[in-house]
Amino acid sequence: MSERSENDLSADTAAPVLTRDGRVALEEKARRLEEEVIPTCAQRLREGESDPNLIADYDRAVLELANLSNVLRRAVDAEDLPADPLVVELGDTVTLGMPDGAIERYVIVHPAEAPLDRLRISSDSPMSKAVLGHRIGEKVEVAAPVGRFQVEVLGVER
pTM of the model: 0.79
Quick one: pLDDT band at residue 158, thresholds 50, 70, 90?
confident
Helices (H), the chain: 20-32, 38-46, 52-74, 126-131
Domains in the chain and their CATH numbers? 6-78 (1.10.287), 81-157 (3.10.50.30)
Q: Is residue 109 helix, strand or coil?
A: strand
pLDDT at position 16 is 92
- Does the pLDDT of residue 12 top 70, yes or no? no
Total Cβ atoms within 10 A of residue 143: 11
pLDDT at position 13 is 63
* Residue-averaged pLDDT of the chain: 90
pLDDT at position 50 is 84
For β-strands 147-157 and 93-97, DSSP reports them as: antiparallel
Q: What is the mean pLDDT of the segment spanning 69-87?
A: 92
Q: Is residue 39 a contact partner of residue 112, using CB atoms and an 8 Å limit? A: no
